[in-house]
């Protein structure tokens, strides 16, 4: 089986549940604590391609920094939003599980199992 990478925030219950679910199936993912090691803009672009989602779909709109930076502005470019996520990784929806060319947002956590169906 191809390895799985989990973009993880240990303080998030959904992220912890996704990690526990993978482990309960005998899978030890490569855990990336993205708040400690934020993905680069290029890595974020790659994640979006794997998720097949636009950047606005992976933003955590409830975060204070989202409002402070005015990220709901309709004229902001994808590049500007990606830079904001790189600089403030708390904005990135979590958890994100990646396997090969595919990725899913683990909300609900059981969605990570979609990567196991190959």
What residues act catalytically? Answer: 12
| b/e 15-40 (16+ beta carbons within 10 angstroms → b) | bebbbebbeeeebebebbebbeebbe
| b/e 62-89 (16+ beta carbons within 10 angstroms → b) | eeeebeebebeeeebeeeebbebbbebb
* β-pair type (4-8, 30-33): parallel
């Amino acid at each position: 089986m191809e390895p799985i990478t989990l973009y993880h925030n240990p303080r998030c219950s959904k992220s912890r549940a996704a990690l526990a679910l993978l482990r309960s199936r005998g899978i030890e993912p490569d855990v990336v604590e993205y708040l400690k090691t934020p993905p680069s803009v290029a890595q974020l672009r790659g994640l979006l391609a794997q998720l097949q989602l636009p950047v606005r779909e992976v933003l955590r709109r409830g975060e204070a920094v989202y409002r402070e930076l005015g990220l709901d502005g309709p004229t902001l470019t994808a590049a500007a939003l990606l830079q904001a996520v790189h600089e403030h990784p708390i904005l990135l929806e979590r958890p994100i599980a990646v396997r090969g060319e595919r990725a899913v947002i683990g909300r609900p956590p059981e969605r990570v199992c979609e990567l196991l169906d190959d």
